[in-house]
Structure 1
């Protein structure tokens, strides 16, 4: 087994001794340096797997050492020890390329977590590949997507909060998941939450948890999203939709690395990495006082932009074939192929809905095409992105279907239409003695479309 090594850089002998004892008890061989000059010498001589450096040194500061390591030993994660409350300094170190930071006085449990996470980065994972689908399914060969893959690979080696910016449907959650999977937290949970989908009155409980009996309806203890993500990554999608009061509480939780469940008097420490995203212009919202500037700086330590699909048209054929293969597996059908004309038509489309719209277009075409081939005429571009419904075809082709009156008052339209489809399919199958090919013909749809609806409606 290879001996794990670490370099400790601090001009205070007591701090060096404390860190050296702590790491030695973890089975790590340590080297110590009181200043930048000796630190650089030891880094070149021993190539340690981790560097811990104080911010204030006799001949410079920790940020200078971070920059030097980035240039000369980029595979060595470096963590900076900052003064208590020096959040600006900590953020500066993360922007410079530090793996993480720890504040004085050093809390030993927090230090051990940091060290263990950093050392995982130097352990190669079997079968790891830079450009395969296993690296997060961020597919494509265009220059922009290759750059994005390289950026996510580098950011995976850090614990810095990352703000992912991009249009709706461009794949922001996929990028966040890729950062998680390639980092030292990959064995921990990845919790994704749409901030705009949580009612404001439930936000504090959803994020921080609650104690049983803390409010009406709290019939049991709830951990909340932060504690559910402990040891892993919390992805805050559409973070711009958070109301201002919740932004204050979120900022405190991120800075203190602890949460207080509703109804509890004690804070619970959490070890998570924060990734966030939105399709909105967050700096503009800050200027309009609709998003807190201090929270913006805290989550936007590093910004990552996801290109829209129209800026990487060369990737469309690869993406489309991958999506069609996945749809075929999901609905247990043979995969469909795109004709050259179909690919050309997709490449010429702007895709305001990005990859998500491409998925919906292909799912619709998949259900309607004949003989496993999708031609340009099978592609419904620019209209509704919903998969085809059987309601129209059943109304004109299934004469046995009774006219179902529309219920009065408020209704669940989607559920109502599905019930009509279900009735029509059941009648067609019964009339044909469950011959799916004959039932599809009776309904005026393709066999593939019937298979799709059976799967979708859970009627298999």
Structure 2
């Protein structure tokens, strides 16, 4: 029988040390626990332990500061970082300094045991990346949904993998794309963004790949495209779902071959960029309708990253509101605070415009109201003036699911020239409801299909069949 592996625990909270020691001991590990970073460092220097589980904040030293030193003397010793400071920067620093995993507190003991098992079984970790400079937080929120985003983005900053960001308008897709760039390997290169919905169809190829003089009427000089501008950096293709078919074909060829030619040119140019794409559209539905190439989708969807709408992270609303008020003050607007009634009213709103709507509201409150402390009355007044579909009636609470579906279908019908959809409306609506329902259940259970089936009240085999039919990704997390 092989000797039990030893786990080194460092946390200044005695209760956490006790709980972790008991859980790991029951799982068959030897455990040594301390409240001191100095003691942990001594154990590491002595060659003790097969895995470190450490808190960030300790009385004598920050746990993150220990990581590079541990990696220098024992590069194969894996480290799991725990923290109640559940911010994007903490997750990124943990990844960049060589942590195997970052666990925001509070966490489930089963999750910790799974992480410990993966860490002990994993191959040797590569050297930590050079750390990005300290910056203001690009992403804000401490909800479980945002913690998953932080952990995934932190892992992706150490790679050049292509990322597909999906989410409703106003959820912060470009913010996440910029974070991937600013904290990643290519941060010294350019971040170049192009919005496919804002470029005329006939100019998209020239905008992306550039053109030679005389390539078309009005091309009086050579034009440099976005691929060349982003060389060595990141190219952000926003609203990729609105790219016309002919440009999709050209982009697919570039992704396959790793090079492109300018419009009117012949010499190939190497495509030295990281691609991050984003869309608010359901691209799988667009593929079924013949509006988007399936082969291009799979080239772009290497790592899918879904951003939750604000209504799915209501616990972040107060934090975001204060963040936006601070930004408004930095922009020269008067300092404002929110009382509890205002915060309660903000949390009750359904936020169809997501974080962008919330930011605009905070700027209006800062600019238009003389009082320093803002109450629910001012919030109600501004929400009522925001326009149709942007506010709820006071006292009625958030929009119901039935009302939201009816509004969505009504908008879809009114967008058709003859007032009717093309075909298969019943199946399309069911798919639009069923897909996010299953996706959210899988996300809430971290990909555990048994728990997701129990949550939904479905048979496990039925859930598996639905996952296959809807082509839903089931990801427990990148390792």
Is the shorter-chain TM-score for this pair beyond 0.5, marking a shared fold? yes
**Is it true that 1:138 corresponds to 2:139 in the alignment?**
yes
Deviation at 1:239, TM superposition (A): 0.3
Aligned counterpart, 1:123: 129
Query: Aligned pair in 2 of structure 1 residues 226, 127: CA closer, same or farther (>3 Å)?
Result: closer
3-state DSSP class of the match of 1:274? strand
Distance in 2, Cα, partners of 1:46 & 1:344 = 49
Aligned counterpart, 1:213: 214
The CA deviation string for residues 185-235 of structure 1, in whole angstroms up to 9 with x for no partner, is 111111111111100010111000011222221122211111111101111
Deviation at 1:122, TM superposition (A): 2.8
The CA deviation string for residues 63-109 of structure 1, in whole angstroms up to 9 with x for no partner, is xxxxx999524742xxxxxxxxxxxxxxxxxxxxxxxxxxxxxxxxx
Query: Aligned pair in 2 of structure 1 residues 267, 71: CA closer, same or farther (>3 Å)?
Result: farther
The CA deviation string for residues 38-59 of structure 1, in whole angstroms up to 9 with x for no partner, is xxxxxxx98699xxxxxxxxxx
Distance in 1, Cα, partners of 2:337 & 2:119 = 49
Aligned partners of 2:162 and 2:276 also within 8 Å: yes
Distance in 2, Cα, partners of 1:323 & 1:71 = 43
Distance in 2, Cα, partners of 1:69 & 1:288 = 43
Distance in 2, Cα, partners of 1:74 & 1:155 = 18
Which aligned pairs between 1:296-307 and structure 2 lie closer than 5 A?
Answer: 296-307=297-308
The CA deviation string for residues 282-336 of structure 1, in whole angstroms up to 9 with x for no partner, is 1111111110010001000111110111111111111111111111221x23321
Give the number of the structure whose alpha-carbon radius of gyration is greater.
Answer: 1
Distance in 2, Cα, partners of 1:371 & 1:293 = 54
Aligned counterpart, 2:30: none
Query: Aligned pair in 2 of structure 1 residues 264, 154: CA closer, same or farther (>3 Å)?
Result: same
Aligned counterpart, 1:72: 122
3-state DSSP class of the match of 2:170? coil
Distance in 2, Cα, partners of 1:219 & 1:280 = 37
Query: Aligned pair in 2 of structure 1 residues 144, 293: CA closer, same or farther (>3 Å)?
Result: same
Distance in 1, Cα, partners of 2:221 & 2:373 = 53
Distance in 2, Cα, partners of 1:46 & 1:363 = 48
Aligned counterpart, 2:235: 234
Deviation at 1:351, TM superposition (A): 0.2
So what's the TM-score if we normalise by structure 2? 0.54
**Is it true that 1:178 corresponds to 2:179 in the alignment?**
yes
Unpaired stretches in structure 2, ≥5 consecutive residues: 1-73, 78-95, 97-117, 389-479
Q: What is the count of residue pairs matched by the alignment?
A: 274
3-state DSSP class of the match of 2:333? coil
Aligned counterpart, 2:35: none
**Is it true that 1:347 corresponds to 2:347 in the alignment?**
yes
Aligned counterpart, 2:371: 371
User: How big is the alpha-carbon RMSD for the aligned residues of Structure 1 and Structure 2?
Assistant: 2.5
So what's the TM-score if we normalise by structure 1? 0.56
3-state DSSP class of the match of 2:276? strand
3-state DSSP class of the match of 1:323? helix
The CA deviation string for residues 360-408 of structure 1, in whole angstroms up to 9 with x for no partner, is 111222222113222211122254369xxxxxxxxxxxxxxxxxxxxxx
List structure 1 runs of 4+ shifted beyond 4 angstroms: 45-49, 68-71
Aligned partners of 2:76 and 2:124 also within 8 Å: no
Query: Aligned pair in 2 of structure 1 residues 156, 74: CA closer, same or farther (>3 Å)?
Result: farther
